[in-house]
A and B are shown apart, each in its own frame.
Chain A
Amino acid sequence: MTTPPSPPTTAPALPPTPTRPLSLSRTTATATRVLRQLSHDPRTIALLMLIPCVMLFLLRYVFDGSPRTFDNIGASLLGVFPLITMFLVTSIATLRERTSGTLERLLAMPLGKGDLIAGYALAFGALAIVQSALATALAVWFLGLDVTGSPWLLLLVALLDALLGTALGLFVSAFAASEFQAVQFMPAVIFPQLLLCGLFTPRDNMHPALEAVSDVLPMSYAVDGMNEVLRHTDMTATFVRDALIVAGCALLVLALGAATLKRRTA
């Protein structure tokens, strides 16, 4: 800056825009912003898209001798990947939003908490659709994953899982003061669900106490839903129940996450 700035041209004062709990244009503006941020980070996008595919590929040849095991675990993993990756991405993104001061700035503006959360869910949901579509296509067409039902239903469960991961990440980031802590929440929140969701052994083979715990963990229903699609041609009642439970959990945790966003902080 060498010359003093010219007097600012006067802009018309903004018409009063009420802060509603959810505004479509503010939500899409937020989703666009999150996707634009990611677009400046191609390495993260590449990792998000490739890692599930590489893992499935690896798994296919780990179980080279028993395609049946690959079917079981592969289908379950299609539901687990979006949950884990979206959990990680969201918890770090929200933590950065909190620590960089942008969250405080946004909440001092007419942005509804619902707009912010729905914006994140929308952006990461879109990302999860691409990620799951790639992984599902690879598994079904190239790795010979034997799915009786429609691959579209696999994709639907994967999307719900991604939403659940986004919701959990958002919620947990409120309790993390640093990236170190946020990353440690991954094993704390995800690993127990991974162990108990029926991926390693059917849930009814577990100790009754653990089975009871697994009954209240949302990932169990995500994996159950995937297995329903694997075994049945039609959309079964159990599948609908599982999908609804995962969706319900995602919405519940999103609401809890919204409650952690405070306009006034100490």
Chain B
Amino acid sequence: MNYMPEHSSRSPEGHGHDPARPAVRAEDLTVVRGTRTVLRGLGFTVPRGRITGLLGPSGCGKSTLMRSIVGTQSKVTGTLDVLGRPAGHPALRTRVGYVTQAPSVYDDLTVRQNLDYFAGILDPGRAAADRRRADVTRVVADVDLTTHADALAGNLSGGQRSRVSLAVALLGAPELLVLDEPTVGLDPVLRRDLWALFHSIAADRGATILVSSHVMDEAERCHRLLLMREGEVLADDTPDALRTRTGSETVEEAFLHLVDEAKTDAAARTKETTR
């Protein structure tokens, strides 16, 4: 692997941010679901220690891409490396935290019982019991549910349940967090607090975060953006660079600009081929 000293982890850019070893690297990534090609030959990288936002309208393939990275999606072709290994490699199962769009927790268990169980799967054995207990207490505090730790997950509000689901992904301090729309349905205060949490996780621990959203104003909070539309990556850049390049005020405008551009290009291509 090319090691570039100017991008070493001691660079002022940040912790563990090393473009030579991206957290995720995709080349010609294609996913077929049923008869539909959901992802069409994607190529992109997700830098380490950074928050990368995955944005695009619903149905554009964000969740499928995230499932592919976590290794739960079938019929994935092309190259997809995660933390230096092929996606879905057994060694990655403790190193990648994943939050699905719908909260995936047991409604008939309390918050703490949910976390106890998942912690027991990640870090099993009686010898690790103390470490697990500390870990569970830490993640409950991280998502601010300490006062609800003994409430049944099914009795919590939607936003609280999705925070339980997020807490599960934070167990064991994974190097890569894949979060599928973690802030949907949350009030502005909670959303701001969760983004503060994401930033401190990336800054303090050097963890990589890939977070999807279809709310464009959240894009401003990311270090980098992957804009997707209809199974393709429209842009892979920083929010500032995107706005400058498209001469737009907001990321939303930039996105619309890129969509129009892609349409014109496609129309031009069809014209050329029919000619």
Contact = CB atoms under 8 A, between A and B. Distances in A.
Interface in A73-88: none
Interface in A1-21: 1-14, 16-19
A23 B125 CA distance: 9
A1 to B, nearest CB: 5
17 contacts: A2-B189, A11-B172, A23-B124, A29-B124, A36-B113, A40-B152, A100-B105, A100-B106, A100-B107, A104-B100, A105-B100, A110-B90, A110-B93, A263-B71, A264-B73, A264-B76, A266-B73
Interface of B: 33-34, 70-76, 88, 90-91, 93-96, 98, 100, 102-109, 113, 117-118, 120-126, 131, 134-135, 138, 141-144, 152, 168, 170, 172-173, 175, 189-190, 192-193, 196-197, 200-201, 204-205
A184 interface: no
A263 B73 CA distance: 8
Interface residues of A, number: 46
A19 B124 CA distance: 11
Contacts, number: 144
Contact of A7 (B70, B91, B131, B200): B200
Contacts of B93: 19, 108-110
Nearest to A116: B121
Contact of A109 (B75, B121, B131): B121
A8 B138 contact: yes
B98 A105 contact: yes
Nearest to B168: A105
A66 interface: no
A8 B109 CA distance: 25
B126 A107 contact: no
Given A11-B135, A16-B94, 16 more contacts: A2-B189, A8-B170, A11-B138, A11-B172, A13-B173, A26-B121, A36-B109, A105-B100, A105-B104, A108-B71, A108-B96, A109-B93, A109-B118, A110-B121, A111-B121, A264-B76
Interface of A: 1-14, 16-19, 23, 25-26, 29-30, 32-33, 36-37, 40-41, 100-102, 104-111, 115, 262-266
Residue from A8, A32, A36, A266 having most chain B Cβ neighbours under 10 A: A8
Contacts of A105: 98, 100, 104, 118, 168
Say whether chain A's binding surface is mostly helix, strand, loop, or mixed. Answer: loop
A107 B123 CA distance: 15
A108 B142 CA distance: 22
B59 to A, nearest CB: 16
Contacts of B152: 40
A1 B90 contact: no
A197 B265 CA distance: 70
Nearest to B143: A5
Contacts of B135: 11
Nearest to B172: A14
A41 B154 CA distance: 12
Contact of A14 (B72, B168, B173, B201): B173
